[in-house]
Structure 1
Amino acid sequence: MITLKGAAVSAKIKEQVDTLLTDLKGKTPKLAIVRIGERPDDLSYERGALKKMESFGLMGESFAFPQDITDEAFKEEFAKINENPDIDGILVLRPLPKQIKEKDIEHMIDPGKDLDGISPENIARVFAGDDTGFAPCTAEAVVEVLKANEIALTGKRVAIVGRSMVVGRPLSMLMLKENATVTICHTRTENLKETCKNAQILVAAAGRARMVDGSYVGKDAIVVDVGINVDKDGKLCGDVDFDSLEGTASMATPVPGGVGAVTTAVLARHLVSAALKK
């Protein structure tokens, strides 16, 4: 089984970012990462994103708020970040706590700064096949990994486990744009394992640690793991039981070191693009 690592894909995206930066004539784009609480997966993603911005020659700043912040107080703080002319792009780490009306934040965010495609305007563009908006970074990263490894999507049977607006649904649109045949699976899918085994490309985006094992995977299938979980031992892991794929899958992405590294690279590219549009 070939391990599809994200480092090489990230390096290719950095070359694209370097080219875009020359058009900014010395301006350094700035990212704001907005986080509520101290969820381990959020902290892990934030660290990775800030490190990536620095390695790409960009600026990043974390805006962290307590878990129990009120909806009103958070909206006041978010408005300040949203309207700050020195900030070129915003990443909101989700899901937000229950007391925060997440839909309101999605409508509040400036679509031009919305690097992770949460605003209705950007999502509409993704579903319309319009490249002028920002797609969710993780969904875009999955396609980048496959393209960088010269894995053709045209005509391929793709199963996506997970139907969230963060990954599953927007990724299905990006896959359809590449002429793949897409099935979105979820907790109520009948014969889930059989549906997954029929796929030539299987994307795990369920948000459950090591849920997908070798019994979900067809012979020589390609498995892409977008999960970021922390197991009972405090170790970072994906939605796929990677070791169980040996002898079945032909290729698979690891966690860490797979899609996550590409997701933050896509975020960096979106940031520079946002700065250029300004």
Structure 2
Amino acid sequence: MTILDGKKISQKIKDEIKQEVELLRQNSILPALAVILVGDNPASKTYVTNKTKACESCGIKSILYELNEETTQSELLALINTLNYDDSIDGILVQLPLPKHINKDIIIQSINSNKDVDGFHPSNVGFLHSDIKGSFLPCTPAGIIELLRAYDIKLSGLNAVVIGASNIVGKPMAAMLLNEGATVSICHLQTKDLSLYTKEAELIVCAAGCVNLLKADMVKEGVIVVDVGINKVNGVLVGDVDFQNVSKKASFISPVPGGVGPMTIAMLLKNTIKSAKNRLKQG
């Protein structure tokens, strides 16, 4: 069994990004990411802090806009509109979830698709599902693809199961695996017999947000398992997979923490650099 070490692979990507940042600086381009945090959700604050630190470690300018819980949708849209027209900003990230009085779909659509480094704008989603290169890919599934490639795992022809059908992970993950030539089944918490699918899978990506959802008796020997789950049990961070027992049957498996999380942030940085390069071309 081999651990899919997201920390190690993400560091390699960050080292490459540092070099790209230096080249961009030599051409008078300072890559910049604007991060908008609305409210005081503790988990969101942690994520934003991690993203800010990652930017700084690679030489990317990070600008944080902290707005209070009472911020109106109109006020948030006005800020996004200002950033859309700011030529010094390469990426705009609105940390989710948003307060209930703000419609996240309207907010996502308001971001300039050329600065949508999260890869959530309908235009970028459409490019992904049409397998048209050049768009921004959602960071978590893109990070998973990079992680699997780093371990020379060939996806073409694999029988893959994605557990979870969110717009952030499950759906784009399935699309990326299809684009790589895998045969893909999408399952979720309403799937009647999950093991019917997982027992035949050569690759399982588990992103349902449910502790110990995937157990050892649900997988076959040699399976590749990627755990996207982030759950807290008695203050300890755990995934969706019964790691201790599933790892005994897996050929490759990602841990929580230290697997997918670092790769997600690395892809955010990569998307920001991609946007900065586009600015250089246009300049």
TM-score (ref. length: structure 1):
0.92
**TM-superposition CA deviations, 1:83-112 (whole Å, max 9, x none):** 333321012222323211111112210111
Q: Distance in 1 between matches of 2:40 and 2:223?
A: 36
Corresponding residue of 2:176: 174
Corresponding residue of 1:254: 255
Corresponding residue of 2:146: 144
Pairing of 1:116-265 with structure 2 (within 5 A): 116-229=118-231, 231-265=232-266
Matched, 1:105 2:116: no
In the TM superposition, residue 23 of structure 1 has moved relative to its aligned partner by 4.3
Q: Distance in 2 between matches of 1:38 and 1:198?
A: 43
| Residues matched between the structures, number | 277
Mapped contact 1:41–1:228 kept (Cα < 8 A) = no
Corresponding residue of 1:47: 49
Q: Distance in 2 between matches of 1:235 and 1:88?
A: 35
Q: Distance in 1 between matches of 2:212 and 2:87?
A: 42
Matched residue type, 1:106: I
Matched, 1:5 2:5: yes
Mapped contact 2:221–2:249 kept (Cα < 8 A) = yes
Aligned residue for 1:124, secondary structure, equals helix
Identity over aligned pairs, percent: 35
Q: 2:67 aligns with which of 57, 60, 65?
A: 65
Corresponding residue of 1:17: 17
- The Cα RMSD (Å) is 1.9
Corresponding residue of 1:85: 87
Q: Distance in 2 between matches of 1:46 and 1:209?
A: 24
Aligned residue for 1:236, secondary structure, equals strand
Mapped contact 2:24–2:30 kept (Cα < 8 A) = no
Any unmatched runs of 5+ in structure 1?
none
Q: Distance in 1 between matches of 2:38 and 2:228?
A: 22
| Worse-matched range after superposition: 219-228 or 136-145 | 219-228
Aligned residue for 1:35, secondary structure, equals strand
Runs (4+) of structure 1 moved beyond 4 Å? none
Q: Distance in 1 between matches of 2:42 and 2:228?
A: 16
| Worse-matched range after superposition: 259-268 or 245-254 | 245-254
Q: Distance in 2 between matches of 1:38 and 1:232?
A: 22
Any unmatched runs of 5+ in structure 2?
none
